[in-house]
Amino acid sequence: MAMGEPWRDEGGQSRIPFGPGPVARPLLTDPDAPDYDNILACIRCGLCLSVCPTYQTDHLEVQSPRGRVALIRAVQEGRLPLESPGLKEHMYHCLDCRACQTICPSGVKVGELVVATRAEIARRERPPLLERLLKRVILRWILLRPERVEQLVVPLRLYQRLGIQALIRRSGILDRLPGRLRTLAVMEGLLPRLPARPLRGQLAEVTPARGERRYRVGFFLGCVMNVVYAEVSRATVSVLTENGCEVVTPQSQRCCGAPHAAEGDVETLRALARYNIDLFAAWDLDYIVSDCAACAAQTKEYGHLLREDAAYRERAEAFSRKVRDITELLAEIPLTPPAGGVPVRVTYHEACHLCHAQGVRRQPRTVIRQVPGVEFVEMKESDWCCGSAGIYNLTHAERATKLLDRKLANIAATGAEVVLAGNPGCLLQLEAGVRRTGLKAKVLHPVQLLAAAYRAKGGPSDIRDRAAERSGG
């Protein structure tokens, strides 16, 4: 053994445990399987640890992006069975916020690897009967038709209109529920004031531009936006028409498929993608826009999702190329500056599906800063997940609350009167946090700020009153 090489043993072999080498053929090879080459790109540098919410909360290697990649690699190399106890649990501990993808110098797509592994588990597992039935009802029945989502919300609307919600919240009875029933308290705490009617039936299929038509834009109306945040999407259509867009809102459009992707139901996801592609293809559109970051992120992936489908490959790619987040589109066309002012101090929370999944970071700030009278204050850790992450705030309520409290502290430090966010899950989570803590800040979507400025026509804005009305439920 050469002198000065204490890392070798007496036989000249390395003492350093480098681990197993790559395999010639990974275990999972179907088109939807985790990309083995991308897994191997992980150099375990640890940069992802600094931005991973679960690692920063728990400080456990298995709760880090590189820890999850190591687990997925072990599955692909046959060292860890896909059915191993705990593997599914660790895959669902991930928020899929994709902050790790933004910072990764090697281009490891951790979020996509995790989602692909969930899908592989879903194809092979047989969960308890109740879980199977619940997922089938939600993913393959309710979310397949917008009218079913609307019907589901009717009892919740009555719950509020009849004063039952106010009574329940004053009593505090839900806070005393034991065990898993505590999830009901979390769900009720997230419920904001619902609109009197869903927006879908109120919008014309074609809304003309104000003045000269510059673009014809298809509006992808999200499920939650339709029944919970109708005033946001109404503001989106108004802002688009103010900017010379004729807005086409197909009445029979269906869910984008984001919930199905998160739960590994790729079969239904592809069916929804094909349906929506066919529906919007009937119109000659310049863009397809969404005010829901999750919807925009998912529909931008239709091209990749259907890459193996010869009948839909090119059409899916063409569809995805047209998709824009509302702020992304307004920054691109570009925005017609509002004549009215909105004298308010605002900060901005970056939805994970917007900043990390789509890489849309500059455009929302560009749009917000063009509103006269706005004082824009940057927030510390603006791109950190708020803890919503689909239904993560229900399935992992304790960790989600820790993430939300961290976000609320950063909001409070800005002294902002309004916090803006571009995703319904974030709006729900932040509104619930504001109500719980009594934080003096209103939660709005950026288009509501713009709509208020266009309404003002040079006069004072009613943004504070409308924000207070929104958060009062």
In the predicted structure, residue 241 carries a pLDDT above the cut 60: yes
pLDDT above 70 (res 459):
no
**Any domain includes 198:** no
Q: What value does the mean pLDDT take over residues 216-243?
A: 97
Residue type, 122: A
pLDDT band of residue 175 (cuts 50, 70, 90) is confident
Would you say residue 338 has pLDDT above 60? yes
CA distance 14 to 10: 10
Per-residue pLDDT, 178 = 86
Q: What is the mean pLDDT of residues 121-134?
A: 85
Least reliable range by pLDDT among 9-23, 133-147, 258-272, 446-460: 9-23
The answer to whether position 244 is within a domain reads yes
| The pLDDT of residue 176 | 86
Average pLDDT, the chain: 92
Whether the CB-CB separation of 425 and 97 falls below 8 Å is answered with: no
Q: Calculate mean pLDDT across residues 263-290.
A: 96
Same domain for 186 and 257?
no
Q: Provide the pLDDT for residue 464.
A: 52
Contacts of 357 (CB under 8 A, 6+ apart): 98, 111, 293, 297
Whole-number percent of the chain with pLDDT over 70: 93
Q: What is the pLDDT of residues 56-115, one digit of tens each?
A: 999 999 999 999 999 999 999 999 999 988 999 999 999 999 999 999 999 999 999 999
Find the CATH number of the domain harbouring 395: 3.40.50
Q: Is the peptide bond before 128 cis (omega within 30 degrees of 0)?
A: no
End residue of a domain, out of 81, 107, 124 = 124
Structural domain count, the chain:
4
Looking at residue 180, its pLDDT comes to 79
Domain annotation covers residue 1: no
Please tell me the distance from the alpha carbon of residue 298 to that of residue 255, in angstroms, as a whole number: 10
* Final residue in a domain of this structure, among 124, 154, 177: 124
**Same domain? 320 vs 344:** no
User: Which pTM does this prediction carry?
Assistant: 0.90
Phi then psi for residue 437, to 5 deg, are -95, -10
Do the domain assignments include residue 11?
no
- Asked if the structure places residue 214 within a domain, the reply is yes
Residue 472 in this model has a pLDDT that exceeds 60? no
Q: At what angle do helices 446-456 and 362-369 cross, to 10 degrees?
A: 20
Mean pLDDT, range 404-429, rounded to an integer: 97
pLDDT reading at 259 higher than 50: yes
Beta strand 344-348 with 323-325 is unpaired
- 8 Å CB contact between 117 and 76: no
Average pLDDT (427-448) is 96
Average pLDDT over residues 425-441: 96
Q: Assign 7 a pLDDT band (cuts: 50, 70, 90).
A: low
Percent of the chain with pLDDT over 90: 80
Strands (DSSP E) along 384-451, which ranges? 418-420, 442-444
Instruction: Using the CB atoms, write b or e for 271-301: b if 16+ within 10 Å.
Output: bbbbbbbeebeeeebbbbbbbbbbbbbbbbb
8 Å CB contact between 226 and 150 = yes
Residues in CB range of 87: below 8 A, 6 or more apart: 71, 75, 80, 117, 121
Whether residues 175 and 111 share a domain: the answer is: no
The verdict on 181 and 214 lying in the same domain is: no
User: DSSP of 154-214, one letter per residue?
Assistant: HHHHHHHHTTHHHHHHHHTGGGG--GGGHHHHHHHHH--PPPSS-STTTS-SEEPPSSS--
Average pLDDT over residues 320-331: 98
Instruction: Determine contact, residues 414/379, Cβ cutoff 8 Å.
Output: yes
User: Do 414 and 323 reside in the same domain of the chain?
Assistant: no
In a domain, 341, yes or no: yes
List Cβ neighbours of 311 (8 Å cut-off, separation of 6 or more).
none
Do residues 293 and 146 lie in contact, with contact meaning Cβ atoms separated by under 8 Å? no
Does 312 share its domain with 360? no
Q: Where are the alpha helices (DSSP H) in 202-265?
A: 223-227, 230-242, 258-262
Helix count and strand count (H, E) for the chain: 25, 9
The pLDDT value recorded for residue 471 is 44
Helix (H) or strand (E) holding 392: helix 392-395
Confidence class for position 460, pLDDT limits 50, 70, 90: very low
* Inside any domain, residue 378: yes
**C-alpha–C-alpha distance, residues 462 and 449, integer Å:** 10
Can you tell me the distance from the alpha carbon of 418 to that of 170, in angstroms, rounded to the nearest whole number? 26
Residue 461 has pLDDT above 80, yes or no: no
Whether the pLDDT of residue 296 is over 70: the answer is yes
| CA distances for 456 relative to 341, 366, 371, 380, angstroms | 7, 20, 11, 31
CATH assignment of the domain containing 60 = 1.10.1060.10
Is residue 342 included in any domain, yes or no? yes
Q: Determine the distance from the C-alpha atom of residue 62 to the mean position of all C-alpha atoms in its chain, rounded to a whole number.
A: 23
Tell whether 414 and 466 lie within a shared domain.
Answer: yes
In sequence order, what are the residues at sequence separation of 6 or more whose Cβ sits closer than 8 angstroms to the Cβ of residue 447? 232, 235, 236, 239, 291, 326, 327
294 plus 349 within the same structural domain: no
Domain end (from 102, 124, 146): 124
Q: For the chain, what is the largest distance between any 2 Cα atoms, rounded to a whole number of angstroms? A: 84
Residue 14 has pLDDT above 80, yes or no: no
Band of pLDDT at residue 20, cut at 50, 70 and 90 = confident
pLDDT for residue 293 = 97
Same domain, 215 and 312: yes
Of 19-28, 95-104, 140-149, 258-267, give the lowest mean pLDDT range.
Answer: 19-28
pLDDT tens-digit series, residues 391-407: 999 999 999 999 999 99
Tell whether the model's pLDDT for residue 267 goes beyond 50: yes
- What per-residue confidence (pLDDT) applies to 18? 64
- pLDDT tops 50 at residue 1: no
Do residues 165 and 290 both lie within one domain?
no
Are both 463 and 342 inside the same structural domain? yes
Same domain, 350 and 457: yes
Boundaries of domain holding 394 = 337-470
The residue type found at 98 is R
Q: How far apart are CA 200 and CA 186, in angstroms?
A: 28
| Residue 179 pLDDT class (50, 70, 90 cuts) | confident
Q: Per-residue confidence at 13, pLDDT binned at 50, 70, 90? A: low
Q: Residue 238's closest CA among 469, 455, 10?
A: 455
- CA nearest 280: which of 322, 329, 242? 322
Q: Estimate the crossing angle of helix 446-456 against helix 230-242, to 10 degrees.
A: 50
